[in-house]
Structure 1
Amino acid sequence: MHDLLGPVAELVRPARNIVVFTGAGISTESGIPDYRGPNGVWQTNRIPTIDDVRNDQHSREQHWQERRRRFPEMRRKQPNAGHRAIVALERDGRVSTIVTQNIDGLHQKAGSDPAHVLELHGSSHRIRCQVCGREYAADTIHERLEQRETDPRCEHCGGVLRASTVLFGEPLPEVTLRRAVEASAEADLMLVVGSSLVVKPASQLPVVARKRGARLVIVNREPTPLDELAHAVVRGEAGPVLDELVRQVLDGDDAT
């Protein structure tokens, strides 16, 4: 792997305004299933739609029951070598923005500056009111679930509560997407990690970066539709690849 990643490290080393774009593939090594794989979330769970949340109390109650069962395990998940490698690049002053499709909060848990992390699909660690928009820490609502509330409501306005994540039938949050587009347009390098790059509009962020002159590096286990646009493509698991890549980038700095 060392020799394979040498040329990629040479691409990354001069960059000072890197945007890292991450998908589910970076978190599978932390034990979090991806979306499309045989054991993926979309294969093993019924995902509620925005209409379910708004109009169907039974669907909401089922959703909260499932969250009550799964959330403690999710909360115990830990960042892996891939998340930590991104933190190392960030602390070296190279990474300006981390755009993620993940809702697990592992970038922040690894030590990334929360101000640098744009969560395109929201966060499973926050709950918000569908009516007034007030947000709650997920732990607070889960305490109420443990007390056998089945359809918890907003303490401020009595509105329906839902996970602060993007549901089927919802657009991405406008402000977050705009910030991601702006960051991509200003990047001198975009590093894509663990994303299939098939879900629009997020999948177009590397195109934005490339059109504005940024170098593009893709690290993913499977081919993506944008591989031909990339300056470098690395097939492999995110953790080992990023760990070695970042080590070579930083070691190269020490040698100069």
Structure 2
Amino acid sequence: LDELNLDNGTPLCSKCGGLLKPNTISFGQNLVPEDLERAQDLALSCDMMIAAGSTLVVQPAASFPLLAKQNGGILAIITQSDTPLDDIADFVFHEKLGDFIDRLAY
């Protein structure tokens, strides 16, 4: 990672050409408290939340769609498998996220 130059945006993997994601959180890493507070504030005040590509089981992120729905927001879920929030969601699309996005483009 020391060899990467981030001045030109997100770097590409030298082996596969995919985007390297420098701002992700891995399991076991602590989340930034300010980021969590902002996410909660946004969930409480949004008109609509789209949960895309998530099983909605890993906390604390899985709680944000529920907060949005409980506070009057519309909830849309796009993921391949069932989630604990499917029954309360306004829209549920069980398909690959890439396929869903491709359909939107046409």
What TM-score, normalized by structure 2, do the two folds share?
Answer: 0.75
Q: Which has the larger radius of gyration?
A: 1
C-alpha change, 1:186 and 1:221, in structure 2 (3 Å) is: same
| In 2: Cα distance, 1:231 partner to 1:167 partner | 29
- Unpaired segments ≥5 residues, structure 1: 1-63, 65-70, 79-102, 106-122, 125-164, 248-256
Structure 1 segment 1-256 matched on structure 2, within 5 A: 72-73=14-15, 76-78=17-19, 104=21, 123=23, 165-166=25-26, 168=28, 170-245=29-104
CA RMSD of aligned residues (A): 2.4
C-alpha change, 1:209 and 1:200, in structure 2 (3 Å) is: same
Q: CA deviation at 1:246?
A: 6.2
Q: CA deviation at 1:230?
A: 0.3
CA contact (8 A) 1:185 1:208 kept: yes
Amino acid at match of 2:79: N
| In 1: Cα distance, 2:14 partner to 2:82 partner | 34
Amino acid at match of 2:85: L
Which stretches of structure 1, 4 residues or more, deviate above 2 A after TM superposition? Answer: 71-74, 242-247
SS of alignment partner, residue 64 of structure 2: helix
Structure with greater proportional helix content: 1
CA contact (8 A) 1:166 1:172 kept: no
CA contact (8 A) 1:197 1:226 kept: yes
Q: CA deviation at 1:73?
A: 3.6
What TM-score, normalized by structure 1, do the two folds share?
Answer: 0.33
Aligned residues: 95
Q: CA deviation at 1:167?
A: 5.1
Give percent identity, aligned residues only. 28
| In 2: Cα distance, 1:73 partner to 1:210 partner | 42
CA contact (8 A) 1:218 1:234 kept: yes
